[in-house]
Structure 1
Amino acid sequence: MLGVELGNEADLSYGTAGLPSYLTDLPKYAEAVSPLPVVAPNTSEDILPWQSIDARSVPTRWFWNWPEILDNHPAYGSDHFYPLARTCANKPYRCPSIPALLSDEHLQSLDYQVDEHAREAGERSLPYRLEETNTAAGRGADGVSNVAASAAYALDMMFHVACPQSPKTPGANLDCKVGGVGVNLHNAEVRAFFEPQEGNGYYNAINYDPTAAMGAPTAAPEYYALLFFGRFAQGSKGLRPFETGTPVKGWRTDDRLFLINKTDQPVSVPAPKGFVDRMTPYDATGAGKFLDAAQVRIDGRQTRADGTWPGFRPHVMHKGRVTLAPGEAAVISKSFPA
């Protein structure tokens, strides 16, 4: 067990005015479960343009109270982030669409939040993790959270949590000294807890069988992003952002180059020779869908019917360029991945 939160998102369960009570309860619960260091904040945070938060011109619940919270010795610093929301009547900034999900604007809000809170946690020698996140609050949005665009978003998002590039201080974290140690993608039922028979949340990375048969789970698009990042990026040394000179997003480690095309057009990118693995939208209908394709493949492969992974199948690239389809990502490894 990594963490226990006091209520589902403490800044909501306690209420904006409930911070004093929370600060009193936090050490009590921490002592009650001692010696296990598991009590963590898990604040939900109000998702707004980073400029408004930085100017403190909008209500943000407990965003600026982290020093008080972290001084109460939680196990680690943690919060939640959902760039969009299924319902957005009062917040057009969060209305779900594929262009909004893949926009730089929403990643800048994430970068700002992660950078602020990871730094505050680090000042107290505490790790920081994005304890709960996904594409859209309210269990996701159909046609946005359950298509290939969500995999491209999730892959890039994990790099940004590991190495936030705060829009307030561009270039200040190019060495990735500040960042999170982990990410949890939220899975849920489509409408309400304890109603699994109604089906899967649109943003689920792994879909369960909602029928009485309770068959093997199946992989949704975001699962392939987790698989891709976990295999090729997790634990790597020398992480840093990489400028591709194109709209394609780039990240480097000591041994690999990652390229993520979040645009709606194919893009050709200069790249070193090496062994290439690809995460690619897959449209079983043959309609030529990419970002809105219902499925994703890695190296042309999918999980087996029993949920197991058949293995990666990189190919050798001798050319100095790689062309990425819309929503496609590639990793170029210097040597054959072990």
Structure 2
Amino acid sequence: MRKHKIAVVPGDGVGPEVIAAGLEVLQAVAAADGGFAVESESFDWGSDRYRRLGRMMPEDGVETLRGFDAIYFGAVGDPEIPDHITLWELRLAICQGLDQYANVRPTRLLPGMQGPLRPELGEQIDWVIVRENSEGEYAGVGGRVHAGLPLETGIDVAVFTREGVARICRFACELARSRPRKRLTVVTKSNAQRHGMVFWDAVCREVLADFPDLDVDFKLVDAMAARMVTHPGDIDTVVATNLHADVLSDLASALTGSLGNGATANINPNAGVPSMFEPIHGSAFDITGKGIANPVGAFWTGAMMLEHLGEDAAAERLMKAVERVTENGPRTPDMGGQAGSADVTKAVLAAL
């Protein structure tokens, strides 16, 4: 029997709630399949640990994770701790430490869901947004000087390397090639950012020369946001910088009816390095402990993890079960229903 060793980092807020539901469902999928097992080990890394010990995770946390096949991550963020601490000392520390340079976010309107767009537009949403996940505007280069003085200055430098741009563009091209439409949109802002983004465009064009079978267009990020709302059927696979894709992917999830449905993967394609899978909804402290957090994003994330681990049939079975529940209910309040997290979980287990 195949065994997949999963590191579980539930994190903050509703993260432990949805990840617990996700693990229950993953175990059920593995049992139904019979050909593989999921072995998980949980780590109490997050804001509660920071309050106790002054660190979000141990100094050797990234090295500890290298011994796993994948990482199942909940959420990070706490209203009592600055976001730049919680994010940089946990999620980004893992992503950058393991060089998970490709953030992949599929987006589509699940059965039974209705987003803010007219139905005939919402039904056209079937996208994958590929976000550069290691450098760009979130490289962490910069600083602050002259603290407290009138000329106090804060600087963040967007970093674009040839290898960084080339590898994310190549990853997106290969993903676009695997999809039926073979269409790729490269998002840029080179009309205003005349150095880094012009370089981004140039390197992407070099990579695209190796993919003549793709239907490719370049779109300014502001025009892209408008296109997602007005002509969603024009879009298929998208590649964008760290900042641009961060914003666009949240817009994409909002257009599908609930941020709670969204899933994402932080991928390092190299064998032997674990990738990390997480729902995108955040820690949601306003509903923590109420039992109403939407677990669908965690389930979809689990399916992405299974697919990455080579369990394609199990991933497909899980998504079919999720889609049956989104279509027929029960649904949590963010999905327009009145059910709790446990009700949705039980329904998915029954559908399996």
Q: Which has the higher helix share?
A: 2
